[in-house]
Structure 1
């Protein structure tokens, strides 16, 4: 067993290294050449002393570096290595930097002041070189449509997190959600879509105008989990183009069973999205309906994502568990003490992170100095079962033998290229002797497929069975089926 575990760990570490590089690249600039490692502070002093020698050695070896600087305070760019004399073509690179009040120039520059333009964004690199992104202020002519565009985006953030307030025409809501989900706010050049595609406003309005609002108060069917006070260790200031508006506070969207006498338990549903968005459309909304239709009260957790930290995400899940247990009886919920959670990708990491970082009897004030606990925070936040759907990462739960583990259910596909399959196997091996666990490994399926079927990726036949498998798992958890039936 130890030998197998060691092999899996080594494979995973290699996969994680690639994943981290991909994540960094996506946040900045997509590229394929070798990315050079950054030096830390301890190494910097010695590297400065020998910098000229290193540059000479680098050029002797036929390699030089290109640094692409975003030209933004507080933001770092990417350093890439090339052979001396390489023809550099940056005309088709994708840049994901944004700056409120500015458009990114389509031209790059050899200087930070934007005086020395790089013709066609192409040049031959002979020595270590830094190029800079350029920025131009929004013009007075652009401002009206930019403001309209940003207003529509801000409105969509509230609409898409409150599906029950707009379900007068489910098809219209899904079409609107699919359009907004598939529309990049920033285009391939790193500019607001509306700058180069003014017609997008008409498209957004066309989908928006088909929505049928079913309640005058869009908050009527949501349950805010925090009171007037909310633990916040990040205190972000910049919400420009973030997934949520500045006034966002976490809440639950309840999908309650019509007959509470037939309810088996309560399921919190957590979408993924790499902690910078919530992929509700493909993951949490369909899953909530699935569990609602199969004997559970389901609750979609609209938790905090970037610019907040992951610790705030973990705290939101802990609070959601406590909220249901504390208020469940008054809200008419059957078995409010029975709470499980299913998380997709980053949603699964949120479950693991909460188990690892936040003890079930801990208080938010243990981690956030600016928060005063209330009565709800005194409730135990342990889960009965945790369903981790393509979101298991090795060491997300450190020293699991010391943690209060729920029963655990893992789902992953061999074809998942975002989170390596080895990580689910590794976490399963860490916990299966400590708590009742199941691992379901499918030959086919992709990352982000939710229940196994989406509007844009079709259906994976075998993979789509995991939902039914989870129902059997939960039936055993809650005593509705026996683990073993003797002949």
Structure 2
């Protein structure tokens, strides 16, 4: 595990037995390859194992270097998961030469609540970047060489993502990230479909229509927002499938999403 904060974790609770960390899955050859950073889901209470290492190995098998971010979850609140995510992007970029990574920006892949976190990163919005900088300053974090890197990403991949704080919200994710009585300002920050900008990364997004945990409207609203901002995107909604499928190896029809993704990455990334 890699300490992305070099022992100076902003907002870290010293009684905590968990520290944010990056797990690397690099292809061992001398070829410079594309890089994908993975955020597992878990409703901001945990990080689902099957949406991390298994996905990284799948990406390795298909020619991509991969990283899994073990980001902070409850009792940590916003913006600490975002801080870990943006720092991870910067950290990976800072290691592009020794790890033989392509210098161009990495892609980010998130599942469920990890998809929400990825969508905050992938908007490439100064709104979230400024929150990051402000919180680092508030915690007395001294800038280092890693902070000289941009947190901008090249491509965004969202799997049954949590997006909205409105009618179709996943209330558990909202409460775990923002608390029980969040302000309207906080809810507006949570709803990433409202914060897409012209610089938002090209996006691949998929969901199942009968998802009983995170309504498919989360994907529909994000897709609509991308369309309104004229952001390049590809969206797939499968008719049936439980929430949290990951690679969907146990669902022959939905498992097609991985082939669709690989085709999209070849075209866009």
Report the TM-score range of the alignment, normalised by the length of the smaller protein.
0.7 to 0.9
Counterparts of 1:206-217 in structure 2 under 5 Å?
Answer: none
Kindly indicate whether residue 124 of structure 2 is the aligned counterpart of residue 328 of structure 1: no
The answer (yes or no) to whether the contact 2:25–2:56 under 8 Å persists in 1 is yes
Of residues 157, 161, 165, the one that matches 1:387 is 157
Deviation at 1:472, TM superposition (A): 1.0
1:19-38 mapped onto 2 (5 Å cutoff): none
Q: What is the CA–CA distance in structure 2 between the aligned matches of 1:321 and 1:329, rounded to whole Å?
A: 15
Give the structure 1 partner of residue 7 of structure 2: 228
Alpha-carbon spacing, 1:313–1:361, altered in 2? closer, same or farther (3 Å) = closer
Count of residue correspondences: 239
Bigger relative contact order, structure 1 or 2 (CA pairs below 8 A, ≥6 apart): 2
Structure 1 residues 345 and 315: CA distance shift in structure 2, 3 A: same
Give the greater-gyration-radius structure (CA).
1
Unpaired stretches in structure 1, ≥5 consecutive residues? 1-221, 240-245, 454-458, 479-487
Q: Out of 25, 41, 47, which is 1:255 matched to?
A: 25
Query: 4+ runs of 1 displaced by more than 4 Å?
Result: 355-358, 360-363
Counterparts of residues 171-320 of structure 1 (less than 5 Å)? 222-232=1-11, 236=13, 246-261=16-31, 263-280=32-49, 282-320=50-88
Q: Matched residues in 2 for 1:425 and 1:445: separation?
A: 16
Relative distance call for 1:434 and 1:373 in structure 2 (3 A) is farther
User: Retained in 1: the 8 A contact 2:210–2:239?
Assistant: yes
CA contact (8 A) 1:250 1:302 kept: yes
Q: Tell whether the 8 Å contact from 1:365 to 1:373 is kept in structure 2 after alignment.
A: no
* Contact 1:355–1:397 (8 Å) recurs in 2: no
Are 2:224 and 1:429 equivalent residues in the alignment? yes
TM-score under structure 1 length normalisation? 0.46
- 1:4 is aligned to none
SS of the residue corresponding to residue 273 of structure 1 reads coil
Deviations 1:135-187 (A, max 9, x none): xxxxxxxxxxxxxxxxxxxxxxxxxxxxxxxxxxxxxxxxxxxxxxxxxxxxx
Q: Does structure 1 residue 343 correspond to structure 2 residue 134?
A: no
**Residue 442 of structure 1 corresponds to which residue in structure 2?**
238
In structure 1, distance between residues paired with 2:162 and 2:103:
27
- Kept after mapping to 2: 8 A contact 1:275/1:310: no
* TM-score calculated relative to the size of structure 2: 0.82
Instruction: Output the CA distance in 2 between the equivalents of 1:362 and 1:399.
Output: 13
Deviation at 1:452, TM superposition (A): 0.5
Residue aligned with 1:353, SS: helix
User: Structure 1's 317 and 342: CA in aligned 2 closer, same or farther, altered over 3 A?
Assistant: same
Could you tell me whether the CA contact under 8 Å between 2:125 and 2:195 is conserved in 1? Answer: no
CA RMSD, aligned part only? 2.1
Separation of aligned partners in 1, 2:28 and 2:114: 27
Contact persistence 1:260–1:334 (CA under 8 A): no
Q: Does the 8 Å CA contact 1:303/1:316 hold for their aligned counterparts?
A: yes
Identify if the C-alpha distance between structure 1 residues 264 and 471 changes in structure 2 by more than 3 Å, giving closer, same or farther: farther
In the aligned structure 1, how far is the partner of 2:154 from the partner of 2:90? Answer: 13
